[in-house]
Amino acid sequence: MMQHVYDFNEGSLEMKELLGGKGSNLAEMTRLDLPVPKGFVITTATCIDYLEQGEELDAMTQSEINAALIRLEESSGKGFSDTENLLLVSVRSGATISMPGMMDTILNVGLNDANVARFAQITQDERFAYDCYRRLLQMYGNVVYGIDMKHFDNILNQVKRNKRYSQDFELTAEDLKAIIDQYKDIYMEIAGKAFPQDVKAQIMGAVEAVFKSWNNDRAKIYRKLNNIPDSIGTAVTIQEMVFGNKNEESGTGVLFTRNPSTGEDQLYGEFLLNAQGEDVVAGIRTPISINRLNESMPEIYTELLDMTNKLEQHYKDMQDVEFTIEDRKLHLLQTRNGKRGAKSAFKIAADFVNEGILTKEEALLTIDPESINQLLHPTFDEKDLAQAELVTDNGLPASPGAATGHIVFDAETAKEWSELGKPVILVRHETSPEDIEGMSVSEAIVTNHGGMTSHAAVVARGMGKCCVAGCDVLEINEEQKSLRYPGGSLIEGDIISVDGDTGSLYVGAIQTRNSDLDENYHTVMSWANDIATVKVRMNAETPLDIQAGLDFGATGIGLVRTEHMFFQPEPLSELRRFILSNSDNERKDALESILIHQQNDFREIFELIQDKPTVIRLLDMPLHEFLPNSKQDIEIVASQQNVSVEDISQRLTGLKELNPMLGHRGCRLAMTYPGLYLMQAEAIMLAAIELNNKDIAVKPEIMIPLVSTERETAYLREMIQERIEALLEEHQVQLAYTIGAMIETPRASLIADKIAQHSDFCSFGTNDLTQMAFGYSRDDAGKFLNQYVNEGVLAYDPFQRVDEEGVGALLQIAIENIKKVNSTMKLGICGEHGGNPKSVELFASLGFSYVSCSPYRIPIAQMSVAQSAIKLKQ
């Protein structure tokens, strides 16, 4: 026969499915002999039966509840009709999966007309007692009888108006008694029945109401959006209430078992004597540091220390504990793993290992990889931030960090001002490759178009620079050099502060604080790197970025974007000559001159990266992105190139594409202009030969982007290889190099085995793969993607975290097929997802050899691959 009711001391955390999260946690603490107020749980299975059987509590359940209530009176030493020790209870819902705020809770159950005065005596606070009763009536009326809250609010507000009160706490006990009378009238008027004065009737009604609340609209929608089955039901926890406001020997508080900011091993928290939790929140009295408890109640403080040690040992994590003291008796009301900052997370992890509480592997799993960001970038001073005037908080936190500076609306001004020593914030509709230099000298970048993987976002992350993107409430007027936002407007030169961690902008300067990487960080990260099997490389091409990546311990470069090198004036001008020319000879000339620049670029990279493997992606961007856009730029280029403005305009029209993302780019360029890739391959190998002559064996891995067919892969691979072999022959050297394919179209994923037959390695571009799998342009998706994520249509933004269902399926098909033809092939990820923890977990489980991400995400990726390795072992 099914047991419907479990006392706390009958349960444990393992019974979470039956007792719910809250109930099983209270049972677990009870099992640990911790002083938890007594209580019992009505199981989730009972809820389901109740809902399925016409919403009636069966006799068996009722009798079990009644028996449990009798046991509760005994174990608590209180009674529902005991005038000395009045027993009141809370009735709370608690499903197995947390659904915060979705279902109902009723406190102070047990009060009635007969015992409320006695309760006033016990708590020595008449106002408090009647307020509890008022609240019980209000909650009960709403939850159990479905009386609209507005009826109660009207009465309360009427009284406050009459008495000219502005706050609830100004209500006196007499006021409350009058309100209670009026509330009772509401019961009769609206629900047609009185508030049950019988305690058991109160409890049965409350239990049924909690069960029913499982199927209220809010809860149903929440479950739908969060993929929680309807069939699991909620448990009901009934627990003795304890009162921290009973007298001066009572109190209430919250604490962390260690300092959540620094990780220091000492209690951290606050308490108030003769108070309830509410009083802390209301802010009328200032709470006292937990350490002062040692002065007022040293025995309780010692008891707390013991208990928190016990909790840490048991839960193997730093705890966040709620407690109440009633008559010098300590009660624990809740414990859970404590949230903490990154700095403290590393210290706690290191300490727990030293203290023997955790193994290194367990300790690594306590670190939220994403939080490491906090350690790598400056952040705003919290106090300053609290007082700052908000411009908007609707931007996307595209690249972390915090910065203050003068607004500029174009890259040119950014350069001029920064040369004069003025810190600038570059604000644009969206950035383009021509803004790169301006971006690099700015403190932060702000855009009102584009998402987390827009040009601005990607480049900023690459630079480790703060960026807020897609901030669409800003009306930016680039020509007038001004912007409007809902609360005002700003012009060039005005100072703003940009928070890349939250996506918020503020008026004026805010003090920033640099974080640094301490010993704990290095200790714990060294464990991570020892355990990891998947390597972490960087996406980088500038010396600054490469050095940053090396400092973070990148094992190589997973992506050199060669187009970024063309935003130096000279190679750009030569590339434009190549594009605009109609003569084969001039094209050849232009390529020869570009070759020299490229060779220099590659030499610079190789000199830094030395013998670490380096994936160099050949030109990927459509050619028109290298041509000028504005009338003025077109004129300048025309005179530089000695062609007419019409020629350029015509060429621009010819190159214009409706959907450039799906256009003439990537290896398609090389099919049309083979010279481009041959020149790049030659430049790479010439640079490699230079280093080889200095006895440095570089490892270039040449990558052909955007392949979709086997034949283009085979054709280009052979073409490049032939040129390289001829070059090596000519220079009489032998050099290791590989040629691989970038798999970033769905079709390439589907035929990856065929592509792999012509590739020494395959690297997956999950950004483009995501765009094409969903049919979402990352530049445009902002219009609906935020809505999709907010409304739960998508569980998460697939440009931030790789989509497991769709893109994951493509990766899996690709890898399974590749392994069939080449079980040892080197497989990498070079999209932005390479720095996202959940994505890295998927990549690791699929068997990738390495992930690559922007330098400032390398530590996050390193922690993620370590955690993935541990989880896969488990």
CA distance 353 to 662: 51
Give the distance between the most distant pair of CA atoms in the chain: 105
Residue closer to a second copy, measured from CB, 113 or 718: 718
| Cα–Cα nearest to 42, from 8, 87, 77, 1 | 8
Please, what's the b/e burial string for 71-96 (b: 16 or more CB within 10 A of its CB; e: otherwise)?
Answer: ebbebbebbbeeeeebbbbbbbbbbb
| Residue 37 per-residue DSSP state | P
Q: Where would I find the H helices in 316-392? A: 342-354, 360-365, 373-376, 382-387
Half-sphere exposure of 752 (CA within 13 A, CB side): 27
Nearer to a second copy, 800 or 868 (CB): 800
Cβ-contact 808, 833 below 8 angstroms: no
Give the side-chain half-sphere CA count within 13 A for 382.
1
Q: How far is the CB of 494 from a second copy (least distance, A)?
A: 23
Residue 544 or 809: the one with the smaller Cβ distance to a second copy is 809
Contact segment (CB under 8 A) with a second copy among 22-30, 178-186, 383-391, 710-718 equals 710-718
Number of residues that this document lists for the chain: 874
Rule CB under 8 A: is residue 3 a binding residue for a second copy?
no
Q: Which is nearer to a second copy, 642 or 659 (CB)?
A: 659
Selected binder of a second copy within 35, 378, 423, 806 (CB under 8 A): 806
Site string for a second copy, 755-774 (x = CB under 8 A): -------------x--xxxx
Q: Per rule CB under 8 A, is residue 704 in the interface with a second copy?
A: no
Number of residues in contact with a second copy under rule CB under 8 A? 48
Contact 80, 73 (CB under 8 A): yes
What type of residue is 813? I
Q: Applying CB under 8 A, which part among 160-168, 211-219, 688-696, 704-712 lies near a second copy?
A: 704-712
The interface region with a second copy, picked from 240-248, 298-306, 678-686, 747-755 by CB under 8 A, is 747-755
- Taking contact as CB under 8 A, which single stretch among the options 53-61, 134-142, 529-537, 706-714 is the one that binds a second copy? 706-714
Q: How near is the Cβ of 124 to a second copy at its closest, in Å? A: 55
User: Is 220 an interacting residue with respect to a second copy (CB under 8 A)?
Assistant: no
663 binds a second copy (CB under 8 A): yes
Q: Which residue among the candidates 331, 455, 624, 833 is catalytic per the annotation? A: 455
Alpha carbons 754 and 813: distance in angstroms, whole number: 13
Residue 762 catalytic?
A: no
* CA–CA distances in Å: residue 744 to residues 579, 802, 842: 26, 13, 17
**Is residue 648 part of the contact set for a second copy (CB under 8 A)?**
no
Q: Is 12 left (phi over 0), alpha (psi -120 to 50) or beta?
A: beta
Q: Which stretch binds a second copy (CB under 8 A): 413-421, 582-590, 662-670, 833-841?
A: 662-670
Burial 149-176 (b: 16+ CB within 10 A, else e): eebbeebbeebbeeeebeeeeebeeebb
Burial 707-720 (b: 16+ CB within 10 A, else e): bbebebbbbbbebb
The single residue among 391, 685, 703, 751 that binds a second copy, judged by CB under 8 A, is: 751
Concerning whether 377 is annotated as a catalytic residue, the answer is no
Catalytic residue among 758, 830, 833, 853: 830
Residue 480 makes contact with a second copy by CB under 8 A: no
The piece of 398-406, 567-575, 741-749, 838-846 that touches a second copy (CB under 8 A) is 741-749
Smallest gap from Cβ 136 to a second copy, in A, equals 39
Cβ proximity to a second copy: between 277 and 806 the closer is 806
CB of 451 to a second copy, least distance (A): 12
Q: Choose among 517, 480, 690: nearest CA to 602.
A: 690
Nearer to a second copy, 691 or 743 (CB): 743
Residues noted as catalytic: 455, 830
Q: Note the residues at the interface with a second copy (CB under 8 A).
A: 657-664, 668, 671-672, 706, 708-709, 711-712, 715, 744-747, 750-751, 768, 771-777, 779-781, 783-784, 787-788, 791-794, 803, 805-807, 809-810
